Amino acid sequence: MANKTGYVFAIMIAFWLGMIGLGVSIVGFSGALASDEMENWIRGLMWVLAISGLFIIYGGFNMFIASRKKMRDIDKDETELAQAVKKPVIIEDAVKTIREEAAKPFPDRNTLLAHWSYDTEEWNTFTKKEFGFRIREALIVWLLIAGLGTWLLASYREMGHLAAFITSLSTGGLLTLIRFSIAYNARKANSSKPGDVVISSKSILINGKYHILNDENKTLYKLELLKDETPQILEFSVEWNTRKGTTNEQVRIPIPADKTGEAAKLVGVFNTEIIGKY
C-alpha cells in the first residue's frame, strides 16, 4: 500500500481549519449582528472577523477536497498497477497506451513500464549508498543556507553578521534535521523488506511508497541514467510550483544488474513519449 500519511495529515489540518473558521465566524457574526449599541468601528471589525472565518472554512474545505481526491487517485493508480504487474510488460503496447493517454486533455491511466525486484545484497547496497547521498545533500544545503543566508540578512536586512550567521545556521540546521529524519526513515523502511520497484508513466512505487511523477501539480522534467554509480541509478527529477517559486526533488532507483538494457530503453520512452507531454 502507498504511503498516504501526508494526505491524511492534510485532511486533519483541513478539519482543524474548519473548526477554527467556524469559531471565528460565530464570534464575528454574533458581534456584528448584536442588537445593543456598538461603535461602528467595532461592528466593522466583527464583520471582518466573520468574513475571515468564512474564508478559513473555505480554505479548509478546499484542502479536504484536494486531499481526498489525491488519495482516491492513488488508490486508483495502485489498483491499476496491481493488475498490470501480474502480466509481463510489453513495452510496445505500453508506448501505444501512453500515446493515447497523452492525446487526452487530462490523462488518467497510469501505464506500467517496468517492475523490478532485487536480491538482498543488491538492495542493501543501494539503501546504504542512498542514505549517504541524502545526508551529504542535506549538509550541502545547510552550508549554502548558512553562507548565503548570512550574506543576505547582513546585506539587505541590516542585521549584524553574528546574528545573521546564527539565524541562518539554525534555520539550515532545522531543515537538515528534517531531511535527515526523512532519509533515516526511508532507509529503515526500505531495508526492512526485499527491494521491489514499480515504474509507470505517472508514478513510482518503491517498496510500496508512492512517488508522483506527473499529475495536475507535479511534472517530471528530466530523467537521467547514472552509469557511473554502483549499482547504476535512474534519477527522476520532478518539479512543482509553490508560493515562493518552483521547487524540485529527485527520486532515485537502482537498476538491477540484469536490467541495464531495459533501463536504457525506459529512458528513451520517457524522453520521447512522456516528458513534456503529460
Each residue of 141-174: pLDDT tens digit?
A: 888 888 888 887 777 766 777 787 888 888 878 8
Are the C-beta atoms of residues 219 and 277 closer than 8 Å to each other? no
Average pLDDT over residues 231-246: 86
Upstream peptide bond of 194 is cis (omega within 30 degrees of 0):
no
The rounded distance, in Å, linking the Cα atoms of 200 and 206 is 12
Residue 16 reports pLDDT greater than 90: yes
Q: Comparing 14-23, 52-61, 112-121, which segment has the lowest mean pLDDT?
A: 112-121
Average pLDDT over residues 81-107: 80
Residue 72 reports pLDDT greater than 60: yes
What was the pLDDT predicted at 135? 82
- pLDDT tens track for 186-223: 666 666 567 888 998 888 888 878 888 888 888 999 99
Residue 59 reports pLDDT greater than 90: yes
What was the pLDDT predicted at 124? 81
What was the pLDDT predicted at 187? 65
What's the predicted TM-score (pTM) here? Answer: 0.69
The rounded distance, in Å, linking the Cα atoms of 132 and 126 is 10
Residues in the chain, overall count: 278
What is the pLDDT of the chain when averaged over all its residues?
83
Is pLDDT larger for residue 112 or for residue 186?
A: 112
SS3 76: helix
DSSP 89: -
